A and B are shown apart, each in its own frame.
Chain A
Amino acid sequence: DAGVIQSPRHEVTEMGQEVTLRCKPISGHNSLFWYRQTMMRGLELLIYFNNNVPIDDSGMPEDRFSAKMPNASFSTLKIQPSEPRDSAVYFCASSRSGGVPPIAQHFGDGTRLSIL
Chain B
Amino acid sequence: AQRVTQPEKLLSVFKGAPVELKCNYSYSGSPELFWYVQYSRQRLQLLLRHISRESIKGFTADLNKGETSFHLKKPFAQEEDSAMYYCALSRAGYSSASKIIFGSGTRLSIRP
Contacts and interface: CB of A to CB of B under 8 A. Distances in A.
Interface of A: 4, 30-31, 33, 42-43, 45, 48-51, 55-56, 91, 93, 95, 97-98, 100-102, 104-110
Contacts of B44: 43, 91, 93, 107
Interface in B43-62: 43-46, 49, 51
Contacts of B90: 102
Given A102-B91, A107-B43, A97 B96 contact: yes
Nearest to A50: B97
Interface string B67-98: 00000000000000000001000111111111
Nearest to A58: B99
Contact of A101 (B45, B92, B99, B100): B92
Interface in B16-52: 32, 34, 42-46, 49, 51
Contacts of A42: 86, 102-105
B43 A98 contact: no
Contacts of B93: 100-101
A85 B45 CA distance: 26
Contacts of A45: 99-102
Most buried by A among B45, B86, B96: B96
Given A42-B105, A104-B34, A104-B49, A109 B42 contact: yes
Nearest to B6: A42
Most buried by B among A4, A42, A93: A42
A37 B93 CA distance: 28
Contacts of B45: 107
A110 B44 CA distance: 9
Contact of A33 (B95, B99, B104): B99
20 contacts: A42-B86, A42-B103, A42-B104, A43-B102, A48-B97, A49-B97, A93-B44, A97-B96, A98-B96, A100-B94, A100-B95, A101-B32, A101-B51, A102-B92, A102-B94, A102-B98, A104-B34, A107-B44, A107-B45, A108-B43
